[in-house]
Amino acid sequence: MFEHPSGTTREGLSIAEACAVAGIGRTKIYQAISDGSLKARKCGKRTLILRDELRHFLASLPIVA
């Protein structure tokens, strides 16, 4: 998990961190942002994905029978 040196867990993830947490590639992350299924925030030039948004996106993926 991505923790700040003070021991707190960061809520905003970079694209690379979101890929590592979710186990999917950058292309799929950017595709999900483009089609609106994953919400991202901008802070200056940085694109951030909130942990809750990533969880919601992953939970919305189809279930394999």
Can you give the residue ranges of every domain in the chain?
12-59
The pLDDT score that the predictor gives to residue 50 is 97
The pLDDT score that the predictor gives to residue 59 is 97
Q: Helix, strand or coil for residue 40? A: coil
The pLDDT score that the predictor gives to residue 9 is 81
The DSSP element (H or E) to which 12 belongs, if any, is: strand 12-13
**How does pLDDT run along the chain (65 residues), one tens digit per residue?**
565 566 678 899 999 999 999 999 999 999 999 999 999 999 999 999 999 999 999 999 999 98
Tokens read off for 2? 């991505």
The pLDDT score that the predictor gives to residue 65 is 83
pTM for the whole structure = 0.84
Q: Classify 31 in phi/psi space as left (phi over 0), alpha (psi -120 to 50) or beta.
A: alpha
